[in-house]
Structure formats: C-alpha cells, structure tokens
Amino acid sequence: MLQAIGLCRFSYPALGGFQVEHETIEERIAYLYEEKRLEERFQLFETVALPCLKAQTDPNFDLIIVVGNQFPKQHMDRMRDITAGMPQVQIQEHEPAKQRERMKDIMRAARRDKSKPVLHFRYDDDDAVAIDFVEKLREAAEDTEGLCDKHRAVAFDWHKGYVAEFGADGIAAVEMDRLHYVASLGVRIQANDGLTIMNFAHEKINKFMPVVSYPDEQMWVRSHNGFNDSRQKKVKPVSVTPLTGEQELEFVNRFAINADVIRETFSKG
C-alpha cells in the first residue's frame, strides 16, 4: 500500500507564501497569532477541516501539521488536544523559513520508504474533503499504474465541490466546479524521486505533469471567511445561500460537517 502524506500549514509564519505581505517577520507573526484571527482558525479547523479526516473511509494516511516555533503555548495545547485521537497526525514546529523550500523538506523527510512511490496532498486548515478522498486517491493511483510508471509525477483532481460560509446561522454554500484546487488534489510521485506536491503551484500543476480529472460528486468544501489569505485583496464575491435540511444532511454524510455543531460553535463568538 502506498504511503499517503498530507501537509497542513496552521498559521505558519513563512518567509513568503502569503498574498498579504508584511514588512517584517515580527509583523507577520503578530498578524497570524492575533487572538481573534486564531480563534476563527481553530473554530474552522475543529468543525470543518478535522471531522472529515477523522471519518476517512481509508484511515491509512499521514497528516503533518506545521506551526511556527513561536506558536503560543495555550494554542499549541489546544492543537494537541483536538488532534489527540488522530494517530495520523504529527505536529511539527518550525522557525520561519522560505515557505516552499521548508515544506518540500518536510514532505521528503516524512517519506518512510523512498524505494516505493508515494502519494501527496495539501490540506488547508479551513477546508474539507469528502470522507472517501484518501480511498479515491489511492484507488486512482492503482487504476492508472501504467500511466504513473511513465512519469515522475501524475496528479489526480476531483474538481467539483462547494464554496461555503460558516457562522452562528449555520452553513451557506454554492456548488462550484474548479480545476486544480488545493483540496481533493493529489499527486503520485515515483520511487526514489525527490519531487513533492510543494514543487508546484496547484493551479498550474497541469503544466508539469499529466492530470487525471474526475467529474464525480462534490469532493471538497472551500471555506470563505474573514481571514482567507487569498481573499484579503480585491476578489470577485461568491454568492452563497443557506443550506436546506436535505443539504445539511449531505454535508454530514459527505464531509462530516454538522450544521448544528457549526451554529453552536460560532454562536460562542
């Protein structure tokens, strides 16, 4: 069975890698660790990002959560508490460094057997994937073994999903079809090859390798919230509508996201 490695940066103060720029690393750390911002990040992480990983139909994956080595102790304690029941999780503390180079090093170091191919995926701390994402990723690599053996890397892209907003009133969302999005995009890399998924910008990955796209049912949920790095600049708004009762049930069954838990969590402020 191929090793599957996921990488999640949780407010890691990288040198570069953000669309919101800061003059100094101290300003970036102050921005990332501001209490109101971190509270929202944790609320989304606990209610949106983690439940679907805990519910994966194929639990055989590794998830590396990268935080800064200045991450406040109370928040590190909270991170350890909410991931305590997840044997897949490894929390790593790193000093500020160039984002892509450090992430590539982390992904390479996580590979247990370099003589075998490996599966990589990125994971944002405020998004979700379907509960069968890992299963489908591993199955896709097996189904395309002939193709994969001819290339250093092959990507697998499930491009249907939702953009959603989460708050005290519950969940509002809209269906989307977007190629090469971070969530539900995986890469199979050849044995004895130092490539990682972090070598490539996700939206340009088709320029560097074959991409097998799947028009299956919705496979991801993209969270729009107050602190999306990609949405701090002027962007086109996305119109969302409150979920119906039937859609709320779908979010539970497909993504392990519970609208009642969302309402309760975000009502606390």
Note the pLDDT tens digit of each residue in 88-138: 999 999 999 999 999 999 999 999 999 999 999 999 999 999 999 999 999
Residue 160 near residue 218 (C-beta atoms within 8 A): yes
pLDDT over threshold 70, residue 22: no
pLDDT of residue 234: 52
pLDDT of residue 227: 52
Class at the top of the CATH hierarchy for domain 3-267: alpha beta
> What residues contact 90, with CB distance under 8 A and at least 6 apart?
62, 63, 64, 65, 110
Q: Average pLDDT for residues 54-73, to the nearest whole number?
A: 97
Q: Average pLDDT for residues 194-211, to the nearest whole number?
A: 95
CA distance 132 to 52: 9
CA distance 210 to 227: 33
Residue 189 near residue 3 (C-beta atoms within 8 A): no
E strands, 113-207, are: 118-122, 128-129, 153-158, 160-167, 170-177, 185-189
> What residues contact 59, with CB distance under 8 A and at least 6 apart?
88, 134
Biggest CA pair distance of the chain: 53
Mean pLDDT of the chain: 93
Structure-block tokens of residue 137? 């990723």
Tell me what percent of the residues of the chain surpass a pLDDT of 90: 88
Structure-block tokens of residue 197? 């998924």
> What residues contact 157, with CB distance under 8 A and at least 6 apart?
179, 180, 181, 184, 185, 211, 212, 213, 214
| Dihedral angle computed from the Cα positions of residues 166, 170, 173 and 178, in that order, rounded to the nearest 10 degrees | 40
Residue 118 near residue 195 (C-beta atoms within 8 A): no
**Residue 10 in 3-state DSSP?**
coil
Write the DSSP assignment of 170-196 as a string of letters.
EEEEEEEE-TT-STTEEEEE-TT----
**HSE toward the beta carbon, residue 250, CA cutoff 13 A:** 15
**pLDDT-derived band of residue 230, with 50, 70 and 90 as boundaries?**
very low
- Residue whose C-alpha is closest to residue 144's, from 134, 152, 154: 154
> What residues contact 175, with CB distance under 8 A and at least 6 apart?
160, 161, 162, 218
Please name the residue that has the structure tokens 């639990």: 59
